[in-house]
Amino acid sequence: MVHMEKSSTDTDMVAPPDRLRLQDVMVRYGDFLALDNINLAIRPGEFVSLLGPSGSGKSTILNVINGAAHPDGGRVFIDGRDVTAVPARERGLGMVFQNYALLPHMNVFDNIAFPLRIRHWPAERIRQAVTDILHRMGLEGFAHRKPRELSGGQQQRVGIARCLVYSPSIILMDEPLGALDKNMREQMQDEIKALHRATGATFVYVTHDQEEALNLSDRICLMNRGRIEQIGTPQEMYFTPVSEFTATFLGESNILAGRLVAENLFRSECGLSIHVVGRPDIPVGSHAKLLVRPEHVMCVAPAADIPNRFACIVENVNFVGGFIRVAVRGQGGGRLQFKTRAHNDYASLQIDSEIHLGWLASDTVLLPA
């Protein structure tokens, strides 16, 4: 359990608009363009997750920020200062790794004290700082244990404590929960959120786990093939994706291809006429795609007064904890999936039975084809 209190701030000082900024950053590895013209600004105290599949560039961004990789073009700014050519050790950053990177021959106290000793802090100041962070991280009884005597979650707490002990203004985390089981990951997510609130530090967090990014972040920067696909709040990314890539990477999706035949009417390739909310950048007559999230699709009565209502045949029913996931085949062979609460509808959903589904026009999102 984390026990942290917000540190006081000097109200007379005005923070710069951006704690961290990447400007036109490019990184090449031979012929491979790892980062292509990245522009990213992160505000003081913000929690930003770099999300994306393997090879998308998220870890390369982290390496450019921490000085482990030098950009082939562009610049990096911290608090308005150009640090592109500044050595990593002089950037004042904190780093938490997936593999914990604890020194096996040192006990917990000495692992946490290590960054203070290389900064030549006096012994008494080190003792007090480490004692304080052990208390805040709930590790008081573990000071003399070696890393091999700790659980994975405890080792991760030590790694985070070692990062926090010298109070960096920017904390970088490279998939820090990837080695933990599901229950421990969820517990550590809560602790990381508490740490972020308590310290007021700027967090930059690399993950490929969409749920983790949605849970932790103030904003998500979704990477795709070395470029920023979209950046926004978790709600913006989930409910108003700008592309099919964003829609399918974040959450489950029903995607239908077709054409916008009127300002608020979409006709799918399988013949469904669907009422939608139009987009000014997708003109009438354009090919487009339609997104509707499975949780927005409802079982309705055959005569229900809802604009988008379709008869479907149940193809598959899967029990998934507190809800069931249902796959159906509709008109023209089009396929959809929806979610519903198991205790309400499970008994009535039989394979090959006919049901009626519906959703609101406001629950649709038009996407470029």
Where among 217, 239, 261 does a domain terminate? 239
Residue 6 to residue 137: CA distance in whole angstroms: 14
On whether residue 162 sits in a domain, the answer given is no
Predicted local confidence at residue 15, as pLDDT: 47
CATH number at residue 309: 2.40.50.100
Residue 124 to residue 289: CA distance in whole angstroms: 63
On whether residue 74 sits in a domain, the answer given is yes
Predicted local confidence at residue 324, as pLDDT: 87
Q: Which residues pair with 292 in a beta bridge?
A: 254, 364
On whether residue 118 sits in a domain, the answer given is no
On whether residue 34 sits in a domain, the answer given is yes
User: Cβ(348)–Cβ(365) under 8 Å?
Assistant: no
Domain with 178, as residue range(s), is: 20-92+168-239
How far from the centroid of its chain's Cα atoms is residue 94's Cα? Answer: 20
Same domain for 185 and 307, yes or no, is no
Predicted local confidence at residue 10, as pLDDT: 46
Same domain for 233 and 260, yes or no, is no
Same domain for 194 and 336, yes or no, is no
Same domain for 208 and 262, yes or no, is no
How far from the centroid of its chain's Cα atoms is residue 354's Cα? Answer: 38
Where among 190, 212, 239 does a domain terminate? 239
Same domain for 54 and 178, yes or no, is yes
Predicted local confidence at residue 340, as pLDDT: 83
Same domain for 301 and 354, yes or no, is yes
Same domain for 256 and 344, yes or no, is yes
On whether residue 231 sits in a domain, the answer given is yes
Residue 200 to residue 46: CA distance in whole angstroms: 8
Same domain for 355 and 214, yes or no, is no
Same domain for 193 and 271, yes or no, is no
Where among 188, 217, 239 does a domain terminate? 239
pTM (2 d.p.)? 0.86
CATH number at residue 70: 3.40.50.300
H helix intervals, the chain:
58-66, 108-117, 123-136, 152-164, 182-199, 210-216, 234-239, 244-249, 342-345
What's the pLDDT tens digit per position in 60-116?
999 999 999 999 999 999 999 999 999 988 898 998 887 778 899 999 999 999 999
On whether residue 26 sits in a domain, the answer given is yes
β-strands 202-207, 47-51 pairing:
parallel
Strands in 215-343 per DSSP E: 219-224, 227-232, 254-262, 265-268, 273-275, 287-292, 298-300, 308-320, 323-329, 335-341
Domains held by the chain: number? 2
Predicted local confidence at residue 301, as pLDDT: 87
On whether residue 335 sits in a domain, the answer given is yes
How far from the centroid of its chain's Cα atoms is residue 259's Cα? Answer: 32
Same domain for 222 and 270, yes or no, is no
Across the beta sheet with 364-368, the strand order is 273-275, 265-268, 254-262, 287-292, 364-368
On whether residue 10 sits in a domain, the answer given is no
Predicted local confidence at residue 17, as pLDDT: 72
Same domain for 288 and 357, yes or no, is yes
Residue 362 to residue 131: CA distance in whole angstroms: 54
Predicted local confidence at residue 8, as pLDDT: 45
Predicted local confidence at residue 14, as pLDDT: 52
How confident is the prediction along the chain (369 residues), in pLDDT tens digits per residue? 555 444 444 445 554 579 999 999 999 999 999 999 999 999 999 999 999 999 999 999 999 999 999 999 999 999 999 999 999 888 989 988 877 788 999 999 999 999 999 889 999 999 999 999 998 888 988 999 999 999 888 888 898 899 889 889 899 999 888 777 888 888 889 888 988 998 889 999 999 999 999 999 999 999 999 999 999 999 999 999 999 999 999 989 999 999 999 999 999 998 899 999 999 999 999 999 999 999 999 888 888 888 899 999 999 998 887 788 899 998 777 889 998 876 666 667 889 999 999 999 999 999 998
Same domain for 228 and 271, yes or no, is no
